[in-house]
Structure 1
């Protein structure tokens, strides 16, 4: 029970970080990553899978 609550808090924290990141990105469209979009999409998908894992655990 204790670990599941910890995983939920980690997942919710990750969702909060994602919301802050999206808000920043929408306000600064001139910023970009120094690598290709494929790497960025892989990072985003990995992050999404981890969020789903932590929230559903």
Structure 2
């Protein structure tokens, strides 16, 4: 695999992951669910999916 092919492969994977995360957050938000994240020290916390989606879309731009 050439460097160019490798970059294209990685870009495709990254794009697929971004689509998957957004679809999951949208589905959870529509169902009124929460998502679990972790603080930098590893302690978990929950966040309403609507808020998580808003944050995700803001940072995505």
Tell me the TM-score normalized by structure 1: 0.53
Structure 1 runs, 4 residues or longer, greater than 2 Å off: none
Q: Which runs of 5+ in 1 are unaligned?
A: 46-57
Q: Which runs of 5+ in 2 are unaligned?
A: 30-47
RMSD: 2.7
Which protein is richer in strand relative to its size?
A: 2
Which protein is richer in helix relative to its size?
A: 1
The total of aligned residue pairs comes to 41
| Greater relative contact order (Cα < 8 A, sep 6+) | 1
Tell me the TM-score normalized by structure 2: 0.50
Partner of 2:39: none
Partner of 2:17: 17
